[in-house]
Amino acid sequence: MAHPFLGLDIAFRSLMAHQQALEVVSHNVANVNTPGYSRQEPVFRAEGPYTVPEATRSTQAGQVGMGVRVTEIRRLNESFVNRSIWLQNQAVGKWAVMRESLDHIEAIMPEPSDGGLSKALDEFWGAWRDLSSDPESMALRSAVLEQGDRLANVIRTYSEQIATYRQDLNTQITSYVQDINDIVQEIAQLNAQIVEVRAVGDQPNDLLDERDFLVGRLSELCSITYAEDAEGSATILMGGHYLVMRDEAAVLEAVPSVGDPMLLDVEWVDRSVAVAPGGGKLGGILEARDEAISGVLASLDEIAVALINEVNAVHRTGYGRDGSTGLDFFAGTTAATIRLSDDVADPVKLATAAADPLDPSSPTGPGDGTIALKIAQVAERAVLGGGTLTISDQYRNMIGSIGLQAAHAELNEEASKEMVAHLRTRRDQVSGVSLDEEAANMIRYQRAYQAAAKMITVVDQMIETLLTMGLVGR
């Protein structure tokens, strides 16, 4: 038969098991608002039956069990859902940064706008057309110079502001690089702790939650590939290179670009290899800078160069009121340097006539506006896009392209956010803490604890009865 203290032992095991279960409930409730926390639950297991040795049979299991124990504190988490969220985070981070960058470019070049380049171009060509009808008017000549100066200022301002914004992105790039370095260092440290905890047979639930939360933050910054080994250590790669391997973390650095020292590129420290972040905020900001923003600057340069070359080519062939000829109207070679030429600081030097008006033998006379009209007609000439686009067409195409790219980025950002929200809802159904459910578990474990305590009291009374047998009447 079993020893008389078996019931006490069983009740005590139940007491300890349900006390531990209540501690798990308390931990869940305490972390109901903790980002990245995964709900935990105790796993109960019945103890094996008590072995009763008897003289008439070999030792074997009896029919009375040994109670209950908590074999593990299980973490309720779906790794597949987590990894799907990380994948979508990369898209959200990339498209959000690209949309923000493109929105900023659109804000610099608002269209339609009274202060925009389209209006400046139209008024510039219109001023030349007006001058062609009355080339002797000093007021119209001054108007041409005013509109030319305004047009050059608009182009130059756009180029300067966009170039400044592109350089300002260096601050964000540096910040993202530092964030990545900090996160991967923390993950490497957590890897070491997780391996140590598992080595002694424990379950590092909270450490795993913390690591998953950090990986989620990392996935917002760059594209990653994630894997775990049998010991629970995480390996993370970016662009085919190790970011984290066991307790070692790589280091990134932002360095001046070889092509343009005013811009920053990202490299692996001690590897002399450029980083390919792919998606995430870092990938998005580099793509926006190197493709979208640089493309806008290149397009503005094409517009400025075409304007300078085409207007100057016609203007050089004409004559001013003072007989001057061969003069440039615009100076500069790019959008950042375009300005009015010093040659035409005096309005009388504006070339409007096809022949020298001071030459008595001139066939045109002093009222000739042929050259002014030809300059106005430059607006209609297809001088860009391989002879398919006018200067205004090129600008409209550029503005339209920025708008389409911004809309595309916003659409992809919203779609990715919706997917992340859906996946997080799915994750919360498994990993999220429900206060109602925890309250029900608390009552259930509390009553089991009370029952175990009552059983100890009953067994204690039974033992007391046993110990007092034969003492009555003495």
Q: What is the pLDDT of residue 276?
A: 85
Q: How far is CA 355 from CA 129, 247, 283, 348, 361, in A?
A: 18, 82, 58, 15, 10
Q: Which of 170-179, 302-311, 322-331, 448-457 has the lowest mean pLDDT?
A: 448-457
Cα of first residue to Cα of last residue in the chain, in angstroms, is 30
Nearest to 431 by CA among 213, 188, 236, 186: 213
Sequence ranges of the domains in the chain:
6-76+433-467, 85-420
pLDDT for position 138: 95
Confidence of residue 417 (pLDDT cuts 50, 70, 90): very high
Higher-pLDDT residue of 257 and 340 is 340
Mean pLDDT of the chain: 90
Band of pLDDT at residue 143, cut at 50, 70 and 90: very high
pTM score > 0.95 for this model?
A: no
C-alpha span between 448 and 181 (Å, rounded)? 49
Amino acid at 301: D
Tokens of 116: 């925009």
Average pLDDT over residues 308-315: 97
Please say if the pLDDT value at position 415 is more than 80: yes
Q: Percent of the chain beyond pLDDT 90?
A: 77
Question: Would the pLDDT of 66 be above 90?
Answer: no
Q: What is the pLDDT of residue 286?
A: 94
Which residue in 305, 306, 342 sits closest to 324, CA to CA? Answer: 342
Q: Per-residue pLDDT tens for 232-282?
A: 999 999 988 999 999 999 999 999 988 888 999 999 988 777 888 889 999
pLDDT (0 to 100) of residue 47: 84
390 contacts 398 by C-beta, under 8 angstroms? no
pLDDT at residue 61 greater than cutoff 60: no
Average pLDDT in the 22-32 region?
95
Rounded CA-CA distance 58/52 in Å is: 9
What's the mean pLDDT in 84-98? Answer: 96
pLDDT value at 346 more than 70: yes
* pLDDT score, position 258: 86
Contact 355, 362 (CB under 8 A): yes
Cβ contacts of 113 within 8 Å, gap of 6 or more: 119
**Helix or strand holding residue 201 (H, E):** none
Q: Where are the beta strands (DSSP E) in 257-326?
A: 264-268
Check if the beta carbon of residue 120 is closer than 8 Å to that of residue 150.
yes
Over residues 114-135, the pLDDT tens digits come to 899 999 999 999 999 999 999 9
| pLDDT higher than threshold 70 for residue 340 | yes
Q: What residues form DSSP beta bridges with 265?
A: 255
Own/partner pairs for 112-116, CB < 8 Å, 24+ apart? Answer: 115/154, 116/154
For range 80-104, the mean pLDDT: 96
Confidence of residue 365 (pLDDT cuts 50, 70, 90): low
384-394 pLDDT, tens digit per residue, is 999 999 999 99
For the cut 80, the answer to whether the pLDDT of residue 352 exceeds it is: yes
- How much is the pLDDT for 368? 82
